[in-house]
């Protein structure tokens, strides 16, 4: 049976049901490298404070290195009987370093340790998400450039509205991703990595001993793949807050939820646009799946899952908010439940960004079909209004005139373009057929919009 970090005051054996109920190693093994980093920093803190001799800290560092090497990425620990990753590492360290391992927990509590490890984990993972955002945004820009001149019907309420450039549509998603990136960057920067909170009340270690750059401590440490070794350790500002703060987890999952919402909207657009009814775009076969029954099917399952996963992200966010809302200060075990929503959200979003990067890059737009839709005269009704406004008709009157003209056209089944000038004049003396006809041109329409910088 795994040795506990807290056995001393207990006489009875823990009920096996309690062991399995409270266990978290099946998911917090993901914090393995981050926890080792924390322990290495803690060894340094203890050495600087006179709790460890040079010899002892050397032994601990080499023991921690061995634990790290043997553990690899930690995924084999899913089946472990240990309570959590912190207990596992401590017990392994004892195996490799002997009695000196018993000094490692000096002036340290898992309450502080788990926050350090979770923050280090986040600082390590977020740059990957940011790179994935940039890749997807790169795909959107590449497709926008490929179809630079293509015009499509723009929609509001999913009804034909006005002609727009396809590139503007694609770059709207790139603009959302730019905000997502800025948000995540900001959150990453704002995560302050501290130690010295102890269980909740602080430790006997002088606060300035906790000032240290992770890079200097872990330099040359093989296997510690924490990409973000730029972590700067600081002493806690308020020990109660340090062990009970999960704002950073909530911020990350909320930024990822917003990002997932953007991806879901993109997915929804592409699902609709790839239907027979729309036929605006073709999704590459490599990014579609088939049906076991209907041989003709080529389904956008990837996009449907992107849409569906947004729900999981929101669920994770709500679960975190609800978990935290009633907790008395400071640490409570409920907080152990922050890991799965955090890990899952990061994993889902990272997978979505990667698969969409490939899917978007291979999109083929059906220019012929799109141009058929552009024949809808309704798309140019607003331009007719502006035409009358240019002739000094008040906007509201112009709007009414063109509204009546559109209604007449729809009821009689006569295109405005085909109406004789005498008919047009019945609606407004200022309508000149030759000029009106020129307005039913997608390029004229989009290029007349000067508020958008091109
Ligand atoms: N596995 C625990 C967590 O994730 C570690 C902290 C346990 N602390 C305690 N006082 N029981 O929160």
Residues 6+ apart with CB under 8 A from 360: 136, 139, 140, 143, 266
Residues 6+ apart with CB under 8 A from 23: 81, 82, 83, 84
Distance CA 287, CA 301 (A): 8
Distance CA 218, CA 195 (A): 17
Distance CA 144, CA 171 (A): 7
Atom of ligand 1 nearest to the CA of 199: 10
Q: Closest Cα to atom 4, ligand 1: which residue?
A: 336
Give the pLDDT of residue 287.
Answer: 79
Give the pLDDT of residue 216.
Answer: 81
Q: Which of the following is catalytic: 20, 62, 75, 291?
A: 291
> How many of the other CB atoms lie within 10 Å of CB of 192?
14
Residues 104, 42 contacting (CB under 8 angstroms): yes
Atom of ligand 1 nearest to the CA of 85: 1
- Taking only the tens of pLDDT, the chain with its 454 residues reads 577 777 777 888 889 999 999 999 999 999 999 999 999 999 999 999 999 999 999 999 999 999 988 987 777 888 899 999 999 999 999 999 999 999 999 999 999 999 999 999 999 999 999 999 999 999 999 999 999 999 999 999 999 999 999 999 999 999 999 999 999 999 999 999 999 999 999 999 999 999 999 888 877 665 566 666 789 999 999 999 999 999 999 999 999 999 999 999 999 999 999 999 999 999 988 877 877 877 777 888 999 999 999 999 999 999 999 999 999 999 999 999 999 999 999 999 999 999 999 999 999 999 999 999 999 999 999 999 999 999 999 999 999 999 999 999 999 999 999 999 999 999 999 999 999 999 999 999 999 999 988 7
Estimate to the nearest angstrom the gap between the alpha carbon of 415 and the chain centroid. 47
- Cross-strand bridge partners of residue 195: 235
- Pocket mutation for ligand 1, best pick of 121, 333, 337, 341 (most atoms within 8 Å of C-beta): 333
Give the pLDDT of residue 42.
Answer: 97
Give the pLDDT of residue 416.
Answer: 97
Atom of ligand 1 nearest to the CA of 83: 1
- Ligand 1 centre distance from Cα of residue 87 (Å): 10
- Ligand 1 centre distance from Cα of residue 111 (Å): 6
Q: Closest Cα to atom 5, ligand 1: which residue?
A: 110
106-144 burial: b if 16+ Cβ within 10 Å, else e: ebbbbbbbbbbbbbbbbbbbbeebbebbebbbebbeebb
Residues 352, 132 contacting (CB under 8 angstroms): no
Give the pLDDT of residue 222.
Answer: 58
Residue 113 beta carbon below 6 angstroms from any ligand 1 atom: no
Residues 6+ apart with CB under 8 A from 386: 398, 448
C-alpha triplet 67, 115, 25: angle, nearest 5°: 50
Known catalytic residue at 254: no
Known catalytic residue at 291: yes
Q: Closest Cα to atom 11, ligand 1: which residue?
A: 333
Backbone torsions φ then ψ of 8, nearest 5 degrees: -45, -50
Distance CA 241, CA 238 (A): 5
- Cross-strand bridge partners of residue 212: 233
- Ligand 1 centre distance from Cα of residue 450 (Å): 59
Residue 84 beta carbon below 6 angstroms from any ligand 1 atom: yes
Residue 335 beta carbon below 6 angstroms from any ligand 1 atom: yes
Residue 114 beta carbon below 6 angstroms from any ligand 1 atom: yes
Backbone torsions φ then ψ of 233, nearest 5 degrees: -85, 140
Give the pLDDT of residue 228.
Answer: 60
Give counts: helices (H), strands (E), the chain: 18, 7
Distance CA 168, CA 144 (A): 8
Task: Tell me the helix, strand and coil percentages in the chain, rounded to 5.
Answer: 65, 5, 30
Instruction: Name the residue among 419, 390, 339 with its Cα closest to residue 114.
Output: 339
Quote the longest CA-to-CA distance of the chain. Answer: 102
Give the pLDDT of residue 223.
Answer: 57
Residue 330 beta carbon below 6 angstroms from any ligand 1 atom: no
Give the pLDDT of residue 221.
Answer: 63
Residue 117 beta carbon below 6 angstroms from any ligand 1 atom: no
Instruction: Name the residue among 445, 430, 36, 6 with its Cα closest to residue 231.
Output: 36
Q: How far is CA 56 from CA 3, 92, 113, 214, 313, in A?
A: 22, 17, 21, 20, 45
Backbone torsions φ then ψ of 407, nearest 5 degrees: -60, -45
> What DSSP designation does 4 have?
P
Residue 262 beta carbon below 6 angstroms from any ligand 1 atom: no
- Pocket mutation for ligand 1, best pick of 84, 88, 118, 240 (most atoms within 8 Å of C-beta): 84
Residue 72 beta carbon below 6 angstroms from any ligand 1 atom: no
Set out the domains of the chain in order of their start, with CATH numbers.
16-106 (1.10.275.10), 112-195+246-367 (1.20.200.10), 375-447 (1.10.40.30)
Give the pLDDT of residue 299.
Answer: 86
């Amino acid at each position: 049976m795994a040795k506990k970090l807290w056995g001393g005051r207990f006489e009875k054996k823990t009920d096996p049901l309690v062991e399995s109920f409270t266990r978290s190693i099946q998911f917090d093994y993901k914090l393995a490298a981050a926890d080792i980093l924390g322990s290495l920093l803690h060894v340094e803190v203890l050495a600087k404070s006179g709790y460890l001799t040079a010899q002892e800290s050397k032994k601990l560092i080499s023991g921690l290195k061995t634990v790290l090497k043997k553990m690899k990425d930690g995924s084999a620990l899913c089946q472990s009987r240990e309570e959590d990753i912190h207990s596992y590492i401590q017990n392994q360290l004892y195996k490799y370093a002997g009695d000196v391992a018993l000094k490692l927990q000096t002036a340290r509590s898992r309450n502080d340790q788990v926050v350090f490890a979770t923050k280090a984990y986040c600082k390590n993972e977020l740059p990957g998400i940011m790179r994935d955002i940039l890749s997807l945004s790169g795909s959107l820009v590449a497709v926008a450039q490929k179809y630079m001149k293509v015009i499509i019907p723009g929609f509001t309420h999913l009804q034909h509205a006005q002609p727009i450039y396809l590139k503007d549509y694609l770059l709207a998603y790139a603009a959302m991703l730019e905000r997502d990136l800025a948000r995540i960057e900001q959150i990453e920067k704002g995560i302050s990595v501290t130690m010295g909170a102890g269980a909740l009340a602080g430790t006997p270690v002088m606060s300035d001993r906790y000032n240290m750059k992770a890079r200097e401590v872990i330099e040359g440490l093989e296997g510690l793949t924490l990409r973000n070794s730029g972590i700067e350790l600081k002493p806690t500002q308020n020990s109660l807050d340090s062990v009970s703060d999960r704002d950073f987890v909530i911020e990350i999952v909320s930024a990822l939820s917003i990002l997932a919402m953007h991806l879901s909207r993109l997915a929804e657009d592409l699902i609709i646009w790839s239907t027979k009814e729309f036929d605006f775009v073709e999704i590459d076969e490599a990014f579609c799946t088939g049906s076991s029954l209907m041989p003709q099917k080529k389904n956008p399952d990837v996009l449907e899952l992107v849409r569906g996963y947004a729900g999981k992200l929101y669920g994770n966010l709500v679960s975190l908010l609800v978990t935290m809302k009633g907790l008395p200060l400071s640490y409570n075990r409920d907080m152990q439940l922050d890991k799965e929503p955090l890990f899952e959200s990061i994993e889902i979003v990272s997978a979505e960004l990667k698969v969409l990067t490939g899917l978007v890059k291979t999109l083929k737009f059906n220019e012929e079909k799109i141009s058929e839709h552009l024949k809808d005269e309704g798309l140019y009704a607003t331009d007719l209004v502006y035409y009358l406004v240019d002739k000094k008709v008040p906007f509201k009157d112009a709007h009414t005139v063109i509204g009546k003209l559109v209604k007449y056209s729809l009821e009689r089944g006569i295109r405005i373009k085909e109406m004789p000038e005498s008919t047009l004049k019945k609606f407004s003396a200022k309508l000149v057929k030759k000029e009106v006809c020129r307005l039913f041109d997608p390029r004229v329409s989009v290029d007349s919009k000067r508020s958008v910088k091109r």
